[in-house]
Amino acid sequence: MSMQRFGVCLVSGLMLAAGVLCLPVAGANEVATAAPPPAAAGSIDSEVQVLKDEVLDLNRELFLLEEELLFPANTQVAVFVSMDVGDFFDLDSVQLRIDDKPVSNYLYTEREVAALLRGGVHRIYLGNLKTGEHELTAVFTGQGPHTRDYRRGATLQVEKGIGAKFVELRISDRESKQQPEFLVKEWE
C-alpha cells in the first residue's frame, strides 16, 4: 500500500470518525427544532449510504493492512485445504502441526465439505515462520470407504526462504486402490 493510500485512509478515517461523533449532536438539534422536509430526509439517507460505503471501503483497506502487518510476506506461511471428487473420503476434520506444535484443528461442516467438493479452497492456517527447515504434518480424519472411520497423516519438510510460502493439503481419490489419497505440496 502506498503512502498516498495510507494518507487517504487516515484522513477519511478521521473524517468519518468526526462525522459519526457529530451525528448525535446534529440529531439532537433536529429533534429540538422540527422534522426535516421529505427532500431533506432523502438527502440524509443518501449521505448515510455514502458514509456506510466509505466505512465498508475503509474496513476492507484495514483488513488488508492488518494482514500485511501481522503476516509480512517474508515470514508468511499459509496452508490451504482442497478436495477433489471425495467418493472415498468424507472429511470430518484436519489437524495441522508445524514443528510438532499444533497450530490448527478445524472441524468441517457438511456445507464446508460441499463447498470444497465444488472446487473451493479453505485457508486453514495463516502464520509466520522463520527462514529455515520446518516440518509440517497434517492429520485428516473422516470416514473412508464403506463408511469406516479413517485417520491418515501426511508430512512435508518445507524450506522457508525469503518470501511467502503457500502449502496445499489436497484430498483426492485414488481410483486404482479405491482409497483416498492425501497430498501435501508447496505452491511455486
Please state the closest distance from residue 16 (CB atom) to other proteins, in A.
5
Q: What is the DSSP string of the chain?
A: --HHHHHHHHHHHHHHHHHHHHHHHHHHHHHHS-PPPHHHHHHHHHHHHHHHHHHHHHHHHHHHHHHHHHS-TTTEEEEEEEE---SS-EEEEEEEEETTEEEEEEEPPHHHHHHHHTT--EEEEEEE--SEEEEEEEEEEEE-GGG-EEEEEEEEEEEE-SS-EEEEEEEEEETTTTEEEEEEEEE-
Residue 187 interacting with other proteins (CB under 8 A): no
Contact between 118 and other proteins per CB under 8 A: no
Query: C-alpha cell of 87?
Result: 467418493
In angstroms, give the least distance from the CB of 64 to other proteins: 12
Does residue number 117 form part of the binding site for other proteins (CB under 8 A)?
no
Residue nearer to other proteins on the CB measure, 21 or 32: 21
The residue from 95, 97, 103, 106 that contacts other proteins (CB under 8 A) is 106
Binding part of the chain for other proteins, among 24-32, 41-49, 100-108, 122-130 by CB under 8 A, reads: 100-108
CA proximity to 48, closest of 70, 16, 72, 75: 16
Our finding on whether 168 is near other proteins (CB under 8 A) is no
Nearest of 167, 173, 171, 164 to residue 185 by alpha carbon? 167
Of 108, 125, 150, 182, the one binding other proteins (CB under 8 A) is 108
Among 4, 69, 100, 130, binds other proteins (CB under 8 A): 69
CB closer to other proteins, 12 vs 172: 12
Instruction: For residue 28, state whether it binds other proteins (rule: CB under 8 A).
Output: no
- The reply to whether 65 sits near other proteins by the rule CB under 8 A is yes
Cα angle 7-12-18, degrees, rounded to a multiple of 5: 130
Could you tell me the smallest distance in angstroms from the CB atom of residue 157 to other proteins?
Answer: 29
**Interface residue list for other proteins (CB under 8 A):** 3, 6-7, 9-10, 13-14, 16-17, 20-21, 55, 58-59, 62, 65-66, 69, 92-93, 106-112
